[in-house]
Amino acid sequence: MQRPLLIRGARQLLTLHGPTAPRRGVALGELTVIADGAVLIRDGRIEEAGTSRRVEALHKARDADEISAVGRVVMPGFVDSHTHLVSGPARPYQYSLRPMTAEAYWKPLQQTSRYTIEAQCFRLIEDFIRHGTTTLEAKSGFGMNERGELKILRAHAALNRKVPMLVSTFMGTRWLPEGSSPDEYINWMCEHMLPLIKRRRLAEFVDIYCDKDMFSIGQAHRFLSAARQLGLGLKMHAGQVANIGAIPEAIRLGVTSADHLNYVSDDDIALLAASGTIATLLPGPVFFTGAGRYPPARKLIDEGVAVALATNYNPHTSQSQNMQMMISLACRQMGMTAAEAISAATINGAHAVRRADRVGSIETGKAADLAILDVSDYREIPYHFGVNLVYMTLKDGRVLCRRSNVQWPAA
């Protein structure tokens, strides 16, 4: 049993206490900030959150270990609801004239042992944690065949046993294998891969890339309908390259999240606003590649759509584990306020992976997944683009990383 832990003296405690439904409109910008705040943690769960004066006076706080957050912001750990954690090597030629082919990703994955992949990805997870992320969705999709995809999903499971923070998503529909017929491939997915993954409990969600020159609306319907019948959660990549009309189908099927949405119509926005689907926005690849356009976050929010932010980490288009950078891009390029971006990166991200009852806000009974930042006001976060402001990250009440002090040599 862990000793109680008291985090005290926070200049701002961002609790995000509020409704159980995804945050929309004005509610997205309501962080429920407590000045001079404190959090009492017991057995990995949040026991109390409030002013330092009130929480410190509680009898159950008297024997607690203490962490001083004086002058700092304490907030929920980031929930990165869209990554491709296991996705092949870094892309050294992104800015040169030698673009990498799909084969350059799946071939090394297929030739690398699962244990080597796990070791490489564990180091990536450590970088996510250093940047304040405590929950992340990991999609497959770069395995390109049954053996490669199963290797990725098994790596997800092994990593989750070490650090239980991953939500696994099967995305064998990220690419279409060369020489394959789209319809035949989808039929094979529905008849073979989906039942196999469900039977072996290798993924909680499935995802399909429904966009120009990828899978059609009809193919997406076939794949997601089969997954829904098996009890798997549904996600869809849509509107990254063009708007082919995928959003109405996503809404009809009840997808948990529709991701990217760089290209989305007014009618799509109205449908999303009236639905329970989260619009997961990914500014990272637009910034990194310099291609396409940023999602219309301001319009989505003003029309009542529940939006989340994520990194889309992958070495192909968005090699960043830093959710703080996504907040900066959301504020600078997409018209979001700092408060809206923080909500989108925490509680709405939790809704996008069906974890909002456990993480994403600082409320009694939830997991003590916290980030302590070296700023005195949350509105400073977007100004420090590309910088890691995290002083400490806690997962289930345990300190996973702490920024070390600079050691100056003796004079």
Mind giving me the DSSP string for 47-100?
EEEEEHHHHHTSGGGTT-EEEE-BTSEEEEPEEEEEE-SS--S--TTTTSS-PP
Cα–Cα distance, 376 to 71 (Å, whole number)? 5
Please state, rounded to an integer, the average pLDDT across all residues of the chain. 93
Residue 163 has pLDDT above 80, yes or no: yes
Residue 195 has pLDDT above 90, yes or no: yes
Average pLDDT of the residues in 92-111: 58
Residue 346 has pLDDT above 70, yes or no: yes
Confidence at residue 405, expressed as pLDDT on a 0 to 100 scale: 76
Average pLDDT of the residues in 8-26: 97
More confident residue, 378 or 96: 378
Among the listed residues 357, 360, 342, the one whose alpha carbon sits nearest the alpha carbon of residue 135: 360
User: Residue 65 — very low, low, confident or very high, per pLDDT cuts 50/70/90?
Assistant: very high
Confidence at residue 351, expressed as pLDDT on a 0 to 100 scale: 98
Residue 123 has pLDDT above 60, yes or no: yes
Confidence at residue 98, expressed as pLDDT on a 0 to 100 scale: 47
Average pLDDT of the residues in 56-80: 96
Confidence at residue 95, expressed as pLDDT on a 0 to 100 scale: 53
Residue 200 has pLDDT above 90, yes or no: yes
Q: Could you list the beta-strand ranges (E) of 160-228.
A: 166-173, 205-210
More confident residue, 93 or 143: 143
Residue 99 has pLDDT above 80, yes or no: no
Residue 94 has pLDDT above 80, yes or no: no
Q: Domains of the chain, with CATH numbers?
A: 5-76+361-402 (2.30.40.10), 78-352 (3.20.20.140)
Contact 81, 343 (CB under 8 A): no
User: Residue 92 — very low, low, confident or very high, per pLDDT cuts 50/70/90?
Assistant: low
User: Residue 91 — very low, low, confident or very high, per pLDDT cuts 50/70/90?
Assistant: low
Give CA 122 to chain center in angstroms.
Answer: 17
Q: Cα separations (Å) of 186 from 90, 215, 232, 346? A: 29, 9, 16, 34
Confidence at residue 406, expressed as pLDDT on a 0 to 100 scale: 78
Both structure tokens of 386 = 């590309």
pLDDT digits (tens, 9 = 90+) for 29-64: 999 999 999 999 999 999 999 999 999 999 999 999
Confidence at residue 89, expressed as pLDDT on a 0 to 100 scale: 63
Confidence at residue 348, expressed as pLDDT on a 0 to 100 scale: 98
φ, ψ dihedrals at 171, nearest 5°: -130, 55
Cα–Cα distance, 208 to 303 (Å, whole number)? 26
Among the listed residues 405, 411, 379, the one whose alpha carbon sits nearest the alpha carbon of residue 11: 379
φ, ψ dihedrals at 131, nearest 5°: -95, 10
Residue 203 has pLDDT above 60, yes or no: yes
- In the chain, count of helices (H) and strands (E)? 14, 16
Cα–Cα distance, 211 to 175 (Å, whole number)? 11
Residue 315 has pLDDT above 90, yes or no: no
Average pLDDT of the residues in 321-337: 98
Average pLDDT of the residues in 4-16: 98
User: Residue 97 — very low, low, confident or very high, per pLDDT cuts 50/70/90?
Assistant: very low
Cα–Cα distance, 293 to 287 (Å, whole number)? 9
User: Residue 164 — very low, low, confident or very high, per pLDDT cuts 50/70/90?
Assistant: very high
Confidence at residue 311, expressed as pLDDT on a 0 to 100 scale: 98
Listed in sequence order, the residues at least 6 apart from 34 whose beta carbon sits closer than 8 Å to its beta carbon are: 10, 12, 13, 15, 49, 50, 51
Average pLDDT of the residues in 121-139: 96
Residue 320 has pLDDT above 60, yes or no: yes
What 176-179 contacts at long range (C-beta under 8 Å, 24+ apart), as own/partner pairs, is 176/214, 176/215, 177/144, 177/145, 178/102
